[in-house]
Every structure is written in C-alpha cells, then in structure tokens.
Amino acid sequence: MRYTAQPAFVLHARPWRETSLLVEVLSLEHGRLGLVARGVQGPKRHALRAALQPLQHIRFDAVQRGELATLTAAEALDAAPRLAGEAALAGFYLNELTLRLAPRHDPVPDLFAAYARARVRLASDEALAWTLRRFERDLLEAIGVGFDWAHDADGRPIDPAARYRLDPEHGPRRLLSDRGHDERSQAATGRALLALGEDRSPDADDLASLRLALRALLAHYLGPRGLKSWEMLGELSRVMRDAGGA
C-alpha cells in the first residue's frame, strides 16, 4: 500500500539501528501508523529529523509492505508548539495516551480533530488540567466508549451535588454517602460531569475531581500496564510536596 501526501501528527519517535528512526503517527485517513524513517541521522537530513519530532504536524509519503511502512518523504506543516515544564509533560501525556488507545490502521477523524485542538490549547492560556480533561472526554467518544454526561447509569439526571464513579460499561454511578474516603476521592462531582458534557470549564475543585475519576476509567481500557506519564506526574507531585515541606 502506498500513502501519498497524508496529513498526520507525530506521536513518538525513537532511534533504530545507526541512522534511522521508528516513528508512530496519528494520520487522518489511516489512523495510527508505524513508520520506519531510514537514514535520517546524517548532517543533510536535519529538516526531516525536525519534522519527525513529537507533536509535529506533518504531511508524509510512505510505502507499506509489512507491519511498518517505510517513509519516503515528510515535511512539517507548521511549527510544533514549544512547551516547557508542566506543559511539556502534558504534551507527553497527550501523545502517550493517543499512542496507547488509538486503533492501528483504522481512521478515527474525530480523534484526529480532538488531538489538533488539544495541541493548540497546550500552548494557549487555557488551564492544562482542563485541556487534558477535554481531550480525554473527546478521545473516549471518538473510539466509541464515551458517555452521556448528563445522565447516570440508570438514566437519571446527574445531581450536581452528588459524587459519581465512572463505570466503563454503564456510565456514571452515584456514590452513596457512606462510601469510604478512598472511593469518594476517586469520584467526580455531578457539577464537574455536567460541565464536562457542556464543554464549560468547572471551578477548580470540581475540575480536580475529574482527574482521578477519568484516570480510573482510562485505566480500564489501557489494561494492567499504565502510562509512564502518570508515573512522572506522581513523581513530580512528590517532589513538589517535599520542596514545600522543606
């Protein structure tokens, strides 16, 4: 199979052999693809190496003869967002989550569009947490496992004052008031779920309640192997707590 002038976003690139790269991209027309970029380490291939950096929007040509396609040409379509600190970590998370959950060789145009929006938002003034929660919602919807955020698993309207855990099979399930602290800490507020469904930013406390609730849901689809970015975020949180207590 031959790919010609295919738009895509670069999710991951790593060295392969002495002069090549293994690249994973999210393409518009063919979903997630693995590419072999041969001979890109030479001094005259700087433009090509730059085009194959994570978060870069590219157009590429390739030939598929096995599991991996051989890249024959690639060019950057814009300048990738320049991210630092927490924004860079958020970009890594965006790519890792997409890499793990986007289907291979199966176009998901809604996910491509959601990734494009999130990529722009990472470099904007929007709160990183809200950018990531919106992307998680859109990714779940795009791969066919999204929810009606306005109703619970029993079809009842979401109560803004209640808390809900996210059941992968049935949707939001309301927690009883006598549930333990650990279970409640991983449940989202009804206000947060309604705001997420309406695509309006909730207040800080409600936004924070979405993080662990959505993480538990995503973990169901990721399986036993979690995300490296979750480990990195946990380590960053520990460092910040230690620094604050010093």
Do 53 and 169 belong to one domain? Answer: no
Structure confidence by residue, pLDDT tens digits, 73-113? 999 999 999 999 999 999 999 999 999 999 999 999 999 99
As a whole number, mean pLDDT of residues 202-217 equals 96
Lowest mean pLDDT among 20-24, 101-105, 131-135, 242-246: 242-246
Do 69 and 113 belong to one domain? Answer: no
Confidence of residue 150 (pLDDT cuts 50, 70, 90): very high
pLDDT, position 182: 64
> Does 81 map to a domain?
no
Is the model's pLDDT at 231 over the cut of 60?
yes
CATH code of the domain in which 240 resides: 1.20.1440.120
Range of the domain at 220: 86-245
pLDDT, position 242: 59
Residue type, position 181, single letter: H
Lowest mean pLDDT among 36-40, 135-139, 146-150, 191-195: 36-40
Is the model's pLDDT at 169 over the cut of 50?
yes
Is the model's pLDDT at 179 over the cut of 60?
no
What mean pLDDT is reported for the chain? 91
How many domains would you assign to the chain?
A: 2
CATH code of the domain in which 60 resides: 2.40.50.140
Do 51 and 92 belong to one domain? Answer: no
Do 140 and 205 belong to one domain? Answer: yes
pLDDT, position 233: 76
Do 129 and 216 belong to one domain? Answer: yes
Do 91 and 72 belong to one domain? Answer: no
Pairing status of strand 20-27 against strand 57-64: unpaired
Domain boundary among 40, 57, 76: 76
pLDDT, position 46: 73
Do 11 and 58 belong to one domain? Answer: yes
As a whole number, mean pLDDT of residues 143-160 equals 96
Structure confidence by residue, pLDDT tens digits, 38-57? 988 766 577 788 899 999 99
240 vs 54: which has the higher pLDDT: 54
